[in-house]
Chains A and B, each alone.
Chain A
Amino acid sequence: MGELFIGVIARRIGRFAGATAAQISAINKKYATPHIKTTPAVRASLLFLRLYLLALVGLLVYKFVTLVR
């Protein structure tokens, strides 16, 4: 009885995960082409954002490492 129940739950989770993955892939396809006009200002802003996020993640990792130590 217990095994049957776990099996049903596992199948449902598997189906849900599969449907979600398919949906994510469809979203990626739908928005694959960015619609913003790529001007130098847009390119510079996106580069700034990438560097900013890298720096911030670096700080978080540093904090985590010092906390663990």
Chain B
Amino acid sequence: MNFWARLFYNWRRVWKALKLYGIIAGPGIIVMVADNDAGGITTYAATGAKFGYSLLWFLILLGPIAFFIQEMTVRLGAVTKRGHAESIFHGFGPFWGWFSLVDLILIDWLTLITEFIGMTAALSIFHVPPLATVLFVILIMGTMIVRGNYWTWEKIALFFCAVNLVYIPCAFIVRPSISSILSNGLIPHIPAGGITNSFFFFLMANIGTTIAPWMVFFQQSAVVDKGIQEKDILWARIDTFLGSMFTVIVAAFCIIVTGTLLRGVDIRDAAEAAVQLMGINKYLGTLLAIGLFDAGLLGAICISLASSWAFGEVFGWAHSLNSRIREAQWFYAFYFFALISAGAVVLIPGAPLVLITLFVQVIAVTLLPASLVFLILMLNNEESMGRYRNNVFQNVANVAIALAIIALSTMYAISTLFPNWLR
């Protein structure tokens, strides 16, 4: 074979692989980018404002952690063809099944409210009233599923994932010092001031935004709904890995923006950061507000589906995005009910929105340990997983990650319940 023939052959092989990846890509990237939801962006913006670039190295460590956990859902979904809620019922019986399902529905609904809080705050910067924002979001999310086609839904969601990259041009606009990012951000160190309560609180908050219970349920159900097979696991893993890189990059650029311009400013949420940045550079503030709205929308898209899928799996309703509304009435009814009721809460005058935001963090830790423990146990069940069960390395890594996440997220929840304990 001459050089040109070999080159053509290799190019064809790479092109074929890329096309195959293009078909399988989706759930991993969507779940990871949606992890940077309104709450996540708020945490990153506040981290940058408080510590500058000092915690960038820590954020980069969180990428592999998210990958290890989410990769397990890919294998479990592709091999068992069951969503996470159904897997828990099947593996551990009704007690743990109902506990997980009811807890998930509650957490998802409360988190959905926080996404609406983020979206209404973001658009209020452009003087859009909350009612218009809520209706607009319901319209977008209704349009995404009305065709009864998973493919359409996924491509629209991937478009919103691409919008999440808005933080990258923002970071270039603020012209940060590259040498300062390299020396101060990428080399692991404790920020000036040492290990304070506030430092520890921010570490926990960043971990808390990295792994959420809905992510486990969402990705496993998406893998099943997409019809990913055992032979596709490698590509789905690559998808999850790229997603984890994507989420870390977006988070890092968000920290760089606030770390450069708002260093030392005490900000409470991302919308406040956008308002502050608007005063410095209106394009920057605008982009940050668009990014916050997009983050909330992506979170809402995934969270409302995670609940509907879980309910559909357990109750045996038709629960695929490939079903039209009249074919899967309960599935879509649940989807819209969660969406509309969460949006309505934000519109209630004097609703305790701050309390709800804090409450989400506390309730989430009642489900997170259970879903992580169940995930690891199911991935070790040789009977159902066969050669796709966890190997020794995966078990060591996943158990260590799960224990660390459980310990830190529990402390985070306790510090939310009893603020004087830590701060």
Contact = CB atoms under 8 A, between A and B. Distances in A.
* Pair from one complex: yes
Interface of A: 23, 27-28, 30-37, 41-42, 45-46, 48-49, 52-53, 56, 59-60, 63
Contacts of B418: 63
23 contacts: A23-B315, A27-B89, A27-B97, A27-B314, A27-B315, A31-B89, A32-B93, A33-B93, A34-B91, A34-B93, A35-B91, A36-B92, A36-B377, A36-B378, A36-B381, A37-B383, A41-B377, A42-B377, A46-B92, A52-B369, A52-B406, A56-B365, A60-B362
A8 B326 CA distance: 25
Contacts of A31: 89-90, 93-94, 97
A53 B365 CA distance: 9
Given A34-B93, A48-B373, A52-B410, 19 more contacts: A23-B315, A27-B89, A27-B97, A27-B314, A30-B89, A31-B94, A32-B93, A33-B93, A34-B92, A35-B384, A36-B377, A36-B378, A46-B96, A53-B366, A53-B370, A56-B410, A59-B417, A60-B417, A63-B418
A41 B377 CA distance: 8
Contact of A36 (B91, B365, B406): B91
A59 B410 CA distance: 11
A28 B94 contact: yes
A34 to B, nearest CB: 4
Q: Chain B: interface residue count, which band?
A: 20 to 34
Given A27-B314, A36-B377, A49 B94 contact: no
B166 to A, nearest CB: 38
B414 A35 contact: no
B417 A63 contact: yes
A63 to B, nearest CB: 5
B365 A27 contact: no
Contacts of B366: 53, 56
What secondary structure prevails in chain A residues at the interface with B?
helix
A48 B377 CA distance: 13
Contacts of A23: 315
Interface of B: 89-94, 96-97, 314-316, 362, 365-366, 369-370, 373, 377-378, 380-384, 406, 410, 413-414, 417-418
A40 to B, nearest CB: 12
A45 B384 contact: no
Contacts of B362: 60
Contacts of B410: 52, 56
A66 B374 CA distance: 33
Contacts of B413: 56
A65 B116 CA distance: 30
A69 B394 CA distance: 48
B411 to A, nearest CB: 12
A58 to B, nearest CB: 12
Contacts of B89: 27, 30-31
A62 to B, nearest CB: 9
B93 A37 contact: no
Contact of A35 (B90, B316, B373): B90
A68 B97 CA distance: 32
A31 B97 CA distance: 9
A48 B376 CA distance: 14
Greatest chain B CB density within 10 A among A33, A34, A60 is at A34
Contacts of A56: 365-366, 410, 413
Contact of B373 (A28, A45, A59, A63): A45
A52 B373 CA distance: 12
B420 to A, nearest CB: 12
A57 to B, nearest CB: 8
Contacts of A41: 377, 380
A34 B377 CA distance: 13
Contacts of B369: 49, 52
A28 B97 CA distance: 9
Closest 3 A-B residue pairs measured CB to CB?
A: A34-B93, A36-B91, A31-B89
Contacts of B96: 46
B87 to A, nearest CB: 10
